[in-house]
A and B are shown apart, each in its own frame.
Chain A
Amino acid sequence: MARSLWTGSLSFGLVNVPVQLVSAVRDQDVHFHQVHKDTGERVQTRRVASTDGEEVDWEDIAKGWETDDGEMIVLTDEDFDAAAPEKTRTVDIDLFVDLQDIDPVYFDHPYWLLPSGDGAGPVRAYRLLVDVMGNAGQVAIGRIVLRAKEYLVALREQDGLLSLTTMRFADELRSPDEIDAIPQGAKGKPSKREVDDAVALIGELTDEFRPSRYDDCHRVRLLRLIDEKRRSGKVEIPEPEPEPQAQKAPKDLMAALEESLAKARGAKGKGTGGGKAEAPKRAAKTAA
């Protein structure tokens, strides 16, 4: 099982539940080492002091804050803990809100929040929170400090356990107003016909969300490359294809929408070209 990243307590009113945090995301990336291109010798990173070039052990490294006048303030882990001691050890539930009210853009990293230890009391208190949150169908909002950064967190019941997701603060999200390239204004507002056509096209291209159907092609390609290199010792580097012509905005948007719509409907009617996108939907319907 994944290692716990943090242990502390979850506090709900005056009820404190000992909990541990485990990442809900596992790293599936293909990892490489850095090596010397000729000798194949592994590359290591050595941390040295910039003044005397002496190597510095990991334990002797602290965080430095440079003030405006160039002074370096050294901060240790203990300092960070002392900055807000209660926050580094507890997740306080502040309020409950509807999950649907929160745009997913606020959610950052997902974790599982599991009971820490298996004492009867704490486990029962944990179970109580799971049940209550499940019943309420709501998300608890609280705070946690991880790696010297405070996060707003959302806790909810998932699969009979509690999940915790770190959130972005509102001021960490950019407003579209900051970006000129985002079109807005009364001028250039799409017509009802255009939007209706686009909605119809979207309808034709709609399918169920089935996450398992998406493969990480990047990972697959890298593994294939590694395999090829291992077997034959070399990799064919294909001639780069010419960059396809940049696609332009359609001159006649209505025509493009209607053409797409006809194509999508035609494909569906014939039951051939609909592709994988259509098949499962039909299957689901029959099953129901």
Chain B
Amino acid sequence: MTAARSLWNGTITFGSVAIPVKLFSATSPHTLRFREVRASDGVRIEHQRVGAESGEEIAYGDIEKAYDEDGKQILLTKEEIAAAEGTHPKVVAIEHFVRAEEIDPVFYDKPYLVGARDGGDHAYRVLLAALEQSEKVGIGRFVLRSRENLVAVRPLGGALGLQTMRFDDELVDKDDLEVPSLRRTPGDREVKMAGKLVEMLQDDWKPEEHEDTYREAVMDLIERKRKGLKPKKAKRRPEEGGDLADALEASLAGGRPKRRTSTERKAATKDSASAKASSGTKGSSSTSSSASGSKASSSKKASSGSKASSSKKASSGSKASGSGSKATTTKASSGSKASSTTKASSGSKASGSGSKASSTKNATNSGSKATSAKRSSSSKTSSGKAAPKRKTTTTKKAGS
């Protein structure tokens, strides 16, 4: 286990309940790190701070910030800027709660994982369980690195997550854009064909199946360069122009056009069971989840679903925050398309408890194809430690 370092220690409060917590980054980007170099000889670049007029180097300690207002400079010292933020108790005070489905994902910015400290475990778990059950998100504010943020406290992969949020006026609306008139409507036939094409390409969200292939290509390129080989010649894709209806027809006739080319290759070797199951098994899962206790909330789910245009959507909506098992039940009853089990399991990756649901299924219904798909997809990401955790939530579900 990597010893994750916490970024912030403080308290989450709601009502008069205080939960002492630690904050951890929820991401570890795998971006390749390059250095700035001079193109001609690869010599490293250094940054110097110099006066714009004098060209003389300025020591870091001699630098302050200035705000430019109509060409007039207003100088602000570090102390003044710090004072503007005030002193902050180290608290994330949840001001209110909102239904998770009301928040468009566009508002969510940087995610963090929340851990408990100093006897906060119990209250932490109560808040987490209550948020999962109610499918709600706590909204509050907190200061990180002398900047106040709006944040959402919500379940994240079986833990409490905290995600900073964008402010409304930071988002660019449609009205701010210049768009050519889109009044010319496509023909019925085109819409129908395109709709068919969408259907052909429908699948479950299995995040772990999507890998960064470009990164490999760049590493490959570096290797070629190191050996003094020429980079591979760029192959240009032929331009497909012409008639829209023709192109659609050709796409439909060609079957699945370029369906996940790179991933599929990988899937073929690593994860063949999963690929097969997701395309092959339809509805074989209907009974599989009942073991995990589908509980009374299925009716509630249906009603929350009425908001989203179809019952299928409704069921998937529930997944986002919570338990795959519930979702599966709804889905099975509404008889909607395809591998509902796999769906539950893919929701799980993000939300944790789903994976537990699927593990229950593994135990009870290991015969079905869909189950094996799940197992492979969840085992791929979860380390050995996942096992006890899954068990935990299974018990939780049974208890509630």
Contacts and interface: CB of A to CB of B under 8 A. Distances in A.
Contacts of A126: 182
Main secondary structure of the interface of A (DSSP, over half): mixed
A138 B202 contact: yes
B363 interface: no
B251 interface: yes
Contacts of A207: 96-98
A13 B65 contact: no
Given A82-B231, A209-B103, A249 B120 contact: yes
Contacts of A244: 89
A277 B241 CA distance: 54
Contacts of A150: 212-215
A185 interface: yes
A218 B186 contact: no
Chain B CB count within 10 A is highest, among A30, A43, A240, for A43
B38 interface: yes
Main secondary structure of the interface of B (DSSP, over half): mixed
B105 A98 contact: no
Interface string A83-103: 111110110111111111111
Contacts of A179: 4, 24, 113, 115, 159
B39 A277 contact: no
B106 A101 contact: no
Given A259-B16, A263-B15, A205 B96 contact: yes
A250 B222 contact: no
Contacts of B383: 175, 177
Interface stretch (B27-35, B267-275, B282-290): B27-35
A97 B63 contact: no
Contact of A170 (B64, B349, B400): B349
A217 interface: yes
Interface in B127-165: 127, 129-131, 133-134, 136, 138-139, 141, 147-150, 156-161, 163, 165
A202 B214 contact: no
Interface string B371-385: 000000000011101
B102 A201 contact: no
Interface range on chain A (Cβ under 8 Å from partner): 35 or more
A149 B226 contact: no
A39 to B, nearest CB: 8
Chain B CB count within 10 A is highest, among A115, A127, A170, for A170
Nearest to B51: A41
Contacts of B291: none
Interface in B71-127: 72-77, 79-81, 83-87, 89-91, 94-99, 101-103, 105-108, 111, 113-127
Chain B CB count within 10 A is highest, among A60, A161, A199, A209, for A209
Nearest to A33: B66
B367 interface: no
A82 B309 contact: no
Contacts of B173: 159
A71 B320 CA distance: 47
B392 A186 contact: yes
A137 B211 CA distance: 25
A39 B117 CA distance: 48
B39 A50 contact: no
B49 A44 contact: yes
Contacts of B39: 60-62, 74, 76
A64 B389 contact: no
A92 B210 CA distance: 14
A117 B73 CA distance: 41
A247 B45 contact: no
Nearest to A55: B48
Chain B CB count within 10 A is highest, among A80, A141, A246, for A246
Contacts of B27: 168, 172-174
A106 interface: yes
Nearest to B231: A82
A161 B16 CA distance: 44
Contacts of A85: 234-236
A184 B81 CA distance: 41
Contacts of B168: 211-212, 214
A87 B214 contact: yes
Nearest to B143: A218
A264 B15 CA distance: 8
Interface string B217-228: 110111001100
B312 to A, nearest CB: 7
Contact of B174 (A62, A73, A159): A159
Contacts of B101: 100
B210 A170 contact: yes
A226 interface: yes
Contacts of B237: 86, 89-90
A94 B260 contact: yes
A6 interface: no
Interface string B358-400: 0000000000000000000000011101101101100110011
A95 B203 contact: yes
B326 interface: no
Ranked 6 nearest A-B pairs via Cβ: A260-B15, A181-B115, A13-B251, A103-B350, A150-B214, A64-B37
Given A45-B47, A63-B37, A103-B320, 14 more contacts: A12-B197, A28-B170, A34-B63, A40-B75, A46-B47, A52-B43, A61-B45, A75-B225, A97-B204, A98-B343, A100-B320, A123-B182, A137-B310, A237-B80
21 contacts: A12-B194, A28-B169, A40-B73, A74-B39, A93-B201, A94-B260, A98-B316, A100-B319, A101-B319, A104-B108, A107-B106, A120-B184, A124-B186, A171-B30, A176-B156, A177-B389, A195-B129, A199-B133, A202-B97, A214-B168, A249-B19
